[in-house]
Structure 1
Amino acid sequence: MNVVVTGATSFLGRALVDRLLKEKHQVFAVVRPGSRNVESLGLKRPGLIRIERNLEDLHELVQVIHEPCQSFYHFGWDGSGSENRMKREVQQKNVEDSLKALEGARRLGCRRFLFSGSQAEYGIHKEAMTEGSECRPVSEYGRAKLDFLERARSMTESWRKTGISEMEYIHSRIFSIYGPGDHPWSLVESCLKAFGAGEYISLGECTQIWNFLYLDDCIRALILLMEQEKGSVSGVYNVAAPEGENRPLKDYIRTMYEVLGSHGSYSFGRRKPNAEGPANLIPDIKKLEKTTGWQPFVSFQEGIRKTYEAEG
């Protein structure tokens, strides 16, 4: 297939591009002009076509992609870091830019458009989060992701009713993903750096229930959603590890510590919570499992070893 991937140099974007190329698809990898990370995609890879475009210009991709495309993965999003997650103007611009990406996908004749949503759309919950759970986002980041869902769903439904386009909209609510190439300030990366060097790390309370999914398993789930042969897979899907991986964050910390040989040290209760505040991550992925048959291949222990070895 011909596949478009925006945000192609992001943590998820790079992994998706790699997987699609291995599966022999032609990939149009969209990056920002002058991106410092563009070399991470590699040079002269069979099937890879790099395109430089600003997020606000994604509706014009048809000017540089001169053949029909079947799939469009949209990962392009500014201000995902903690300091920008509460800035409304930053996050709302992402909504408008993403609507342009949706229009760009329509003009390219794409059959499906998959958006990288977030568990931040749910806000703070004490119970399991299903796709039907009430969304009460507490950050502008979460509100913007939810806002885009509503507007994209309305737009694609309007296109279908008026005969403009039959493109399906898939909204993947992605939970906590880890693996090689993650942001250096993420919890997993911070712990691996400290424990690998035998150093001390100060942590938050870490009493909340959490759920970690390895990068490769996440990418496989997204591709399965996009490539289902069913008549329609439009809708919202939680993308996370199964119920058995829902456990206190402290347990994950201890597992990382043990996998890396119990070097260094750590203490809990020393750091402030993130922009969304302390929250449980208890995803329900029955809908994803039923639709695609997906199950993860990589355990947390194995994923930590893979991540550490890849970056060591």
Structure 2
Amino acid sequence: MNVVVTGATSFLGRALVDRLLIEKNQVFAVIRPGSKNIGSLAAEREGLVRIERNLEELHNLDQVIHEPCQAFYHFGWEGSGSENRMKREVQQKNVEDSLKALEGARRLGCKRFLFSGSQAEYGIHNDTMNEEMPCNPVSEYGRAKLEFSNRALELTENWKKTGVSEMEYIHTRIFSVYGPGDHPWSLVESCLKSFHKGEYISLGECTQIWNFLYLDDCIQALILLMEQEKESVSGIYNVAGPERENRPLREYIRIMYEVLGFHGSYSYGRRAPNAEGPANLIPDIKKLERATGWQPLVDFPEGIRRTIRLNHSVTKY
């Protein structure tokens, strides 16, 4: 297929581009002009076309892509770090820019548009999160992701009714993904670096139930949704680990500490919670499983071992 990927140098974007190229797709990787990560996508790779565009320019991608495309993955989103998650002006700009991406996909003739939403859309819950439950996001980041979901679903339905476009909108609510190339400030990366060096790390309470999904399994889920041969897969899907991966966050810390050979040390209760506040992550992934047959293959201990090996290969630790 001809595939567009925005945010192509992001954690998920890079991994998706790599997988799509391995599967012999033509990939138009959209990168912010002057991105410091542009080198992570080697320009000479067969099937890869790098395009430098700001997020507010995504509606006119047809000016530089002169052939029809079948699929559009939108990962481009500014201000995902903690310092910007509560800034309304930053997050609202993302909504408008993403609507331009949706229009850009329509002009390119895409059959499906997949957006990387977030579990932050649900807000604070202590029970299982499924796609039908009410969303009450507490951060501007979560509110913006939810607002775009609602507007995109409404817009694409109107396009179908009026004969403008048959493009489907797929909204994935992605939970906690880890793996090689993750953000250096993530919990998993912070622990692995500290334990690898035998250093001390200060953590929050870490008493909530959590759920982690390995990067390769996440990418496989996104591709399966995009490439389904069913008549329609439009809608919202949780993308997360299976029920067996729901466990107290402290247990995840212990597993990482064990895999790294019990090097270094750590203590709890010394750091403030993130912008969304303390929350349990108990995802329901039955809808995704029914739609695609997807099953994650990598459990957390194996995923940590793979992450360590692959990060070592690029001297990250």
Say yes or no: TM over 0.5: yes
TM-score, normalised relative to structure 2: 0.98
Q: Distance in 1 between matches of 2:271 and 2:42?
A: 37
- Asked whether the 8 Å contact 2:70–2:110 carries over to 1, the reply is yes
Superimposed CA distance per residue, residues 2-24 of structure 1 (whole angstroms, 9 cap, x where no aligned partner): 00000000000000000000000
Residue 39 of structure 1: how far off its partner (Å): 0.7
Coordinate RMSD, CA, aligned: 0.5
Q: Distance in 2 between matches of 1:255 and 1:164?
A: 52
Q: How many residues align?
A: 312
Match of 1:51 in 2: 51
Match of 2:272 in 1: 272
Q: Distance in 2 between matches of 1:297 and 1:44?
A: 32
Superimposed CA distance per residue, residues 244-296 of structure 1 (whole angstroms, 9 cap, x where no aligned partner): 10000000000000011111111111110000000000000000011101011
**Counterpart residue identity of residue 288, structure 1:** L
Match of 1:224 in 2: 224
1:245 corresponds to 2:245: yes
**Counterpart residue identity of residue 217, structure 1:** D
Match of 2:153 in 1: 153
Residue 303 of structure 1: how far off its partner (Å): 0.6
Q: Distance in 2 between matches of 1:241 and 1:29?
A: 27
- Within a 5 Å distance, the mapping from 1:88-99 to structure 2 comes to 88-99=88-99
- Within a 5 Å distance, the mapping from 1:72-111 to structure 2 comes to 72-111=72-111
Residue 310 of structure 1: how far off its partner (Å): 1.3
- Asked whether the 8 Å contact 2:6–2:29 carries over to 1, the reply is yes
Residue 221 of structure 1: how far off its partner (Å): 0.2
- Within a 5 Å distance, the mapping from 1:160-175 to structure 2 comes to 160-175=160-175
Q: Distance in 2 between matches of 1:68 and 1:124?
A: 41
Q: Distance in 1 between matches of 2:244 and 2:180?
A: 23
- Asked whether the 8 Å contact 2:118–2:174 carries over to 1, the reply is yes
Q: Distance in 2 between matches of 1:188 and 1:133?
A: 29
Residue 169 of structure 1: how far off its partner (Å): 0.1
Match of 1:19 in 2: 19
Match of 1:118 in 2: 118
Match of 2:194 in 1: 194
Q: Distance in 2 between matches of 1:142 and 1:263?
A: 36
Q: Distance in 2 between matches of 1:272 and 1:36?
A: 30
Secondary structure of 1:65's aligned partner: coil
Residue 69 of structure 1: how far off its partner (Å): 0.1
**Counterpart residue identity of residue 180, structure 1:** P
Residue 52 of structure 1: how far off its partner (Å): 0.5
Secondary structure of 2:113's aligned partner: strand
Q: Distance in 2 between matches of 1:205 and 1:233?
A: 39
Q: Distance in 1 between matches of 2:162 and 2:134?
A: 30
Residue 304 of structure 1: how far off its partner (Å): 0.4
Q: Distance in 2 between matches of 1:270 and 1:53?
A: 41
**Counterpart residue identity of residue 126, structure 1:** N
Match of 1:130 in 2: 130
**Counterpart residue identity of residue 292, structure 1:** T
**Counterpart residue identity of residue 148, structure 2:** F
Match of 2:42 in 1: 42
- Asked whether the 8 Å contact 2:43–2:50 carries over to 1, the reply is no
Residue 133 of structure 1: how far off its partner (Å): 1.1
Secondary structure of 2:69's aligned partner: coil
Q: Distance in 2 between matches of 1:309 and 1:229?
A: 36
Match of 2:257 in 1: 257
Secondary structure of 1:104's aligned partner: helix
Q: Distance in 2 between matches of 1:304 and 1:281?
A: 19
Superimposed CA distance per residue, residues 146-190 of structure 1 (whole angstroms, 9 cap, x where no aligned partner): 000010011101100000000000000000000001110100000
Secondary structure of 2:137's aligned partner: coil
Give aligned-pair identity as a percent: 80
- Asked whether the 8 Å contact 2:149–2:171 carries over to 1, the reply is yes
Structure 1 unaligned runs (5+)? none
- Structure 1 segments of 4 or more deviating over 3 A? none
Residue 43 of structure 1: how far off its partner (Å): 2.7
Q: Distance in 1 between matches of 2:122 and 2:28?
A: 32
TM-score, normalised relative to structure 1: 0.99
Secondary structure of 2:116's aligned partner: strand
Q: Distance in 1 between matches of 2:15 and 2:285?
A: 22
**Counterpart residue identity of residue 54, structure 1:** N
Q: Distance in 1 between matches of 2:33 and 2:265?
A: 42
